[in-house]
Amino acid sequence: MNEHANGSAGPARPVRYGIVGTGMMGIEHIHNIRAFPDGEVVAISDPTEASRAAGVEACGAEVAVHADHRELLADPGVEAVVIASPNHTHEAILDDVLAAGHHVLIEKPLCTTVEACRSVMATAETTADRFPDRVVQVGLEYRYMPAVARLIDEVATGALGRPRMVAIREHRFPFLVKVDNWNRFSANTGGTLVEKCCHFFDLMNLIIGERPTRVMASGSQDVNHLDEVYGDRPADMLDNAYVIVDYPGGARAMLDLCMFADASHHQEEISVVGAAGKAEAFLPEGRLRVGIRGRDWIGDVPGEIVDDSHVAYEGLHHGSSYLEHLDFVAAIRGEAPVPVTLEDGLWSVAMGVAAHRSIDEGRPVTLAEILGEAGGDAPVEAAATTGEVTQ
C-alpha cells in the first residue's frame, strides 16, 4: 500500500484496523495492535453487548462501535480487518470482507470445513482483479513463537539433515468458556483437531517442507465436558488424541494431544529429528535445544531461552501475535510477501478433518480423499516432486 499520512514520502502512518469479534482473541489482537506504532484500532464489531463493552475498554481510546460486521466494513476509516469471531462464522464474514476489498487477518482455523475453505479461496480469487494489492493472511501464529521460529530456522540451515520425524506434544488445560459456549460443539468449531490443532499441522508442513498424503488417528472425549448439556445438545469436543501424518518424501509427523493435562511442566514440546541431529522447543519456557550427533549425547545437549527483541507485547502467545501483526503490516505496505496464505490455512484444516474421519471410521484417510471431495484433486504430487511447501 505504501501510503503516508500526507500523501508524500515520509514515515508511514499507522494501518487503521477494524476488529470483528471482541471476545478473548479479539481483545488479544487489540492489545497487540496498541503495542506497536504501525497500527491503530479505529472500529470494533460484535453482536454481543458485553463483548462490545470489553472491546471498547481494551481499546483505551474512542473507537467506532458496531453490532454488525457489515456496518464496520462500511466505515471509511477501516482499511484492515481482523476476524476473531467464532469459527463457524468465518466463511460468511470473510466473504463480506473479501467483497469489500479490505486487507484481512483471519484467525485460525480458516473455516470449519474444507468446503468452506475452498469457497472463501474462490471468493478471494474472483475479487482479486478488483483489489490486486489486498492482503489476506491466516492467523496461524504458532510458527511465530520465538523458540519455535528458531527451531524452524535451525532445520532450514540443514544442520539436522533432512527432517525425518516431527513430534508435537500439547498437554494442557480444557477448552475455556466462550460466549454462549459455542466452542463446546464440533459443528461450530470443526472439531478439536481442526479448532485446536490446525496450528500444529501447519508447523508439520512448514518444517517438513511438503504437503501430507495420509493421516491416521485415534482419539476420544474421556474426561472434559462430559456432564455439559446445552439445550438438548451434549458437548462433543474430543479431549485427547494421537495423530500420525505421512509425507510423500518419507518423513512422518505425530501429534500427541491431551486437554486434561494441566499438571504439566511443558504445555508444548516440539521436536524435529534428522540423520545429523535433533532440535527441540519447549513452551511456555521458551527453551530451544539443538543436539548434533557425534558432538552431543543424551542428557548433555546445550540449550538456551529464546527471545525476540522485536516483541513489544508478549500477551497470551509468547509474542507470536505481535510478530504476525508486524508481518501483516509489512505485507500491506508491499515490503514483504504474505507469510501465511489461504492455501496454508486450507491444508491445516484438511489435516484436522482427515484426523477426525480416521477416528470416526477407524482407518487411514488420504488427503486426496478429503480435498477431492471438496472439488478438484489434492495436489500432493506437486509436493512430492518439489519437496517444498507452497507459500
Domains in the chain: boundaries: 15-140, 142-316+342-386
Residue 192 has pLDDT above 90, yes or no: yes
What topology does CATH give the domain 142-316+342-386? Dihydrodipicolinate Reductase; domain 2 (3.30.360)
pTM above 0.85, yes or no: yes
Band the pLDDT of 6: cuts 50, 70, 90: very low
* Three state DSSP letters for the chain: CCCCCCCCCCCCCCEEEEEECCCHHHHHHHHHHHCCCCEEEEEEECCCHHHHHHHHHHHCCCCEEECCHHHHHCCCCCCEEEECCCHHHHHHHHHHHHHHCCEEEEECCCCCCHHHHHHHHHHHHHHCCCCCCCCEEEECHHHHCHHHHHHHHHHHHCCCCCEEEEEEEEECCCCCCCHHHHHHCHHHHCCHHHHCCHHHHHHHHHHHCCCCCEEEEEEECCCCCCCCEECCEECCCCCEEEEEEECCCCCEEEEEEECCCCCCCCCEEEEEEECCEEEEEEECCCEEEEEEECCEECCECCEEECCCCCCCCCHHHCCHHHHHHHHHHHHHCCCCCCCCCHHHHHHHHHHHHHHHHHHHHCCCEEHHHHHHHCCCCCCHHHHHHHCCCCC
Write down the pLDDT at residue 329.
Answer: 98
What's the average model confidence in pLDDT over 80-106?
98
Superfamily of domain 15-140: NAD(P)-binding Rossmann-like Domain (3.40.50.720)
Asked if domains 15-140 and 142-316+342-386 share a fold, the reply is: no
Residue 2 has pLDDT above 90, yes or no: no
Write down the pLDDT at residue 373.
Answer: 77
pLDDT in tens, 161-179: 999 999 999 999 999 999 9
pLDDT in tens, 349-381: 999 999 999 999 999 999 999 999 765 444 433
Please give the share of the chain, as a percent, with pLDDT higher than 90: 92
What's the average model confidence in pLDDT over 64-86?
97
pLDDT in tens, 24-59: 999 999 999 999 999 999 999 999 999 999 999 999
User: What is the pLDDT of the chain when averaged over all its residues?
Assistant: 93
Write down the pLDDT at residue 12.
Answer: 84
